[in-house]
Amino acid sequence: MAPNTHDIEAFLKLKHIAIAGISSKTSPANAIFKKFKQNGYELYPIHPTMKEFLGVPCYKNFADIPQRIEGVFLFTSPAITLSIVRDCLNYKPSYIWMHNMMGILTCDDNDTKIPDGSSVSIEAVNVAEEAGIKVIAGSCPMQFIEPVDIFHKCVRWFARRKGSL
């Protein structure tokens, strides 16, 4: 995995995106969902028990989604990330984006320590890439979808300075 803003730009051009990690409680994933929605994306939330989220139907798995998914955004624990990546392989999204606030992770033979709160699973990255799916292993869409708030601008600036974006 290497930092690649081209992949981020390509992901953000997609229109049909499955998103996992939303919650009935306050969650950063909920804010990301709202940001995507406000910017015209067609969203398909994946959730095992919720029927709808902010008026949008939720789906238990990819087989239930009535539209071809172009991208998948994950704000989940790494173990759930791996499960969802395996579930979506047959549906061949172009991209999978795994949230990690402080930039895109790089790894050499699984020796990278995944930060707490990250959705990145090295095994999930490998599974997706072996299936021909491009992976964005880190960063946050709120650093790129306009208008970008000052907090996310600062995080994006810092990630670029440390070379993780």
Q: How far is CA 28 from the centre of its chain?
A: 12
- What the block records as the tokens of 30 is 């909920």
Q: How far apart are the first and last CA of the chain?
A: 11
pLDDT at 162: 82
Q: What is the pLDDT along the chain (165 residues), one digit of tens a residue?
A: 444 689 999 999 999 999 999 999 988 999 999 999 999 999 999 999 999 999 999 999 999 999 999 999 999 999 899 999 999 999 999 999 999 876 666 554 455 556 556 899 999 999 999 999 999 998 899 999 999 999 999 988 988 888 877
Location of structure tokens 């491009």: 134
- What the block records as the tokens of 83 is 């499960």
Domain limits, the chain? 5-161
- What the block records as the tokens of 53 is 């989220």
- What the block records as the tokens of 34 is 């709202």
Distance in angstroms (rounded) separating the CA atoms of residues 30 and 97: 16
> Looking at domain 5-161, what is its CATH homologous superfamily?
NAD(P)-binding Rossmann-like Domain (3.40.50.720)
Write down the pTM of the prediction: 0.89
